Amino acid sequence: MTRIKGLLAGILLIFFISGCTQHAGPVPITGSMRLKQIIAGTTTKTFYYNSTGQINAFDTCYGTDCFYTDILYDTSNRIEYTNVYEDGSLYEAYAYNYNTSGFISSIDRSAYMFSTPGYTTTEYTHDTSGNTLTASVGPTGGTLTLTDEYQYNAEGQITYHRNTLGPYSVRTTTYTYNTSGQLVRSSFFDSYGGPHLYHAIFEYNTAGQMTRKTNYTDTVIPDVLQRYTDYYYDTYGNLVTEIVTNADASPGGRTDYIYETVY
């Protein structure tokens, strides 16, 4: 059941880091439309909204194996709790804490998928603009700490990310932007079992929409093509489809974004 980690990581990205980089991801509400569903193969994510337009729940289904996540807000419209259920049983729960500046200071996680519940806390630091500088998590009573560090440019865009797992692994990602503020390159280095080096190149149309991401690996021979991803939009500018093609021209996957009209 480790795939649920990606689901909750998505929550963190959506609400705490999404403003840092230019990306092709869908905007939840564009004009009179909002994101309702994401379909990637047999994986489906469906979003639900409250009366003020906030996402207050979503389903994530891997075939017939489904998880339901609800999101509760405090009186300042900040996320206060998220609870994840599998087949009606509580799978894991998160509590969000904020400092006096209104920035998130920590997230407490309670995991119930095992016979003995597990508890971890992720602690955050920020700069004066609210950009996340560090995120550190370690199990209660444990000694292994997972730490993330971030750096930004003058425009508040993320330029550097370092992920450290105790003494075992260091992963770094650097981000490069053009004069229009668009992300044009990311480079990823992984020391674990390697080293491994990957990078991606991003392309845009005249409307400023990301149209292609090309992934390369430098592990053996520089600039070996891995795959590329093409992005397609509707007339409102919403991302509607991502199509991945492997280096040998075989299909690598497809993701569709479905929107609903907001009345």
pLDDT in tens, 151-160: 999 999 999 9
Q: Which CATH architecture has domain 4-261?
A: Beta Barrel (2.40)
pTM: 0.82
Mean pLDDT of the region 217-235: 81
Residue 10 pLDDT: 42
pLDDT at residue number 215: 92
Taking only the tens place, the pLDDT of each residue in 35-91 is 999 999 999 999 999 998 999 999 999 999 999 999 999 999 999 999 999 988 999
Bridge-based pairing of strands 132-139 and 89-98 is: unpaired
Are the CB atoms for 94 and 8 separated by under 8 Å? yes
115: three-class secondary structure by DSSP = coil
Query: What is the overall mean pLDDT for the chain?
Result: 84
22 vs 14: CA distance, rounded Å:
13
pLDDT digits (tens, 9 = 90+) for 164-180: 987 778 899 999 999 99
**Nearest one of 94, 149, 141 to 124, comparing CA atoms:** 149
For residue 12, report the phi and psi dihedrals to the nearest 5 degrees: -65, -40
State how far the Cα of 88 lies from the Cα of 90, in Å rounded to an integer: 7
Q: Where are the domains of the chain?
A: 4-261
Among 60, 68, 25, residue whose Cα is nearest residue 42:
60
| Cα angle 149-101-162, degrees, rounded to a multiple of 5 | 5
* pLDDT over threshold 70, residue 7: no
pLDDT, greater one: 104 or 16: 104
pLDDT at 24 exceeding the cut of 50: no
What is the per-residue pLDDT for 9?
Answer: 41
